[in-house]
Structure 1
Amino acid sequence: MGTALPADYKLLCEHYPRFELSDFLRVSHPVPGDEVAWVHGTHEQLETIAEWCEDADLAVPMHPYPVPGGLLPWATCNQGDFFLWTTNPAGPEDWTVTVASRNGDWWHYTGGAVQFLADLISGVLEPWALPRVRPEITWVGR
């Protein structure tokens, strides 16, 4: 992808396989030997995100990665929504989370991916238009 990834996400990837929570939110990541397919899939997602960015009526325009400050996906859901990092030229530890809904709604969370998941599952985070996500693993990838 041409960038480092946030430390919290890399730690998550080292300790857990790809997984899905509550039959809803799928957290994917590259696995050894499958990195090329993961990058290819991410590039396909970036094409969709580019279209959504063009169609979005946002006060501050968003763009897909690799544009500086661009959006980079780290999870999806079975409803077609994207969970993205809003990248930051200062480095991956300064990236925040943006949720892009297929119905055109966008939300921003000022923390990282792992804290976002913890807050969403625990109920600390208002899920906006998302369903409640239980701490139930419903799919595990290799």
Structure 2
Amino acid sequence: MTDDLIGTQRPTRRITEPDEAIAALERAVPGLTNHRRPAPAVLDWAVLEDGLGTALPADYKRLAEWYPTFALGDFLLVGLPEPGAEHHRLRGIRGELQEVVQEWWEADMSIGLRPHPAPGGLLPWAGSNEGDVLLWTTTGDGPRDWPVTVASRNGGWWHYEAGAVQFLAEYCSGALEAWALPSIEPRVTPC
């Protein structure tokens, strides 16, 4: 099966401004602002980006500057780097690539999508406590263009043609169809 055979959802309007996407997420998850840092954290993005061999999307980077790792609805863990511990997040992403995405690919469960660093490869950024994984498909002119790809625990794969933060906002608000994911309660827990 190839990438063009899986479902794709498109938002009414793709949010490309990171702060606008974060504001949408804060509206969708009102308790999130209780965990917002008083000032943006200074993160060494070079550790992650050099280690992964690619730049990362600006909305994800901005979210990490304002927020620590958090869980949504006791279901979805959004792993974010911490200042001075960026290498830990890099190790986590590499581990997810090897343990999840690579295993799927080798077991022919990835519907033909390959793991990063393959061209257009999958790069994980969040996961559920039930084995669902949210990834970027690293296509287009750069990270700003990367769609979110959902790999659900039950084998359902689909794309969402927007960034990670907009995906979270619209998933929590119910603006997108969750397809192979359960509905989520817009409650945040810091991790």
**CA RMSD, 1 decimal:** 1.3
Question: Which is richer in strand?
Answer: 1
Percent sequence identity over aligned pairs: 57
CA distance in 1, matches of 2:131, 2:96: 11
Aligned with 2:175 (options 121, 124, 130): 124
Q: Give 1:56's aligned residue.
A: 109
Question: Which is richer in helix?
Answer: 2
Cα deviation, residue 107, structure 1: 1.1
* Residues 25 and 78 in structure 1, CA contact (< 8 A), matched pair in contact too: yes
1:88 is paired with a residue whose SS is: coil
Scaled by the length of structure 1, the TM-score of the pair is 0.91
Aligned with 1:90 (options 125, 137, 141): 141
Q: Give 1:39's aligned residue.
A: 90
Scaled by the length of structure 2, the TM-score of the pair is 0.69
What does 1:99-138 correspond to in 2, within 5 Å? 99-137=150-188
Q: Give 2:43's aligned residue.
A: none
Aligned residue pairs total 138
Moved over 4 A (4+): none
Aligned with 1:69 (options 99, 112, 120): 120
* Residues 124 and 134 in structure 2, CA contact (< 8 A), matched pair in contact too: yes
- Ranges in structure 2 where 5+ consecutive residues have no aligned partner: 1-51
Q: Give 2:80's aligned residue.
A: 29
- Ranges in structure 1 where 5+ consecutive residues have no aligned partner: none
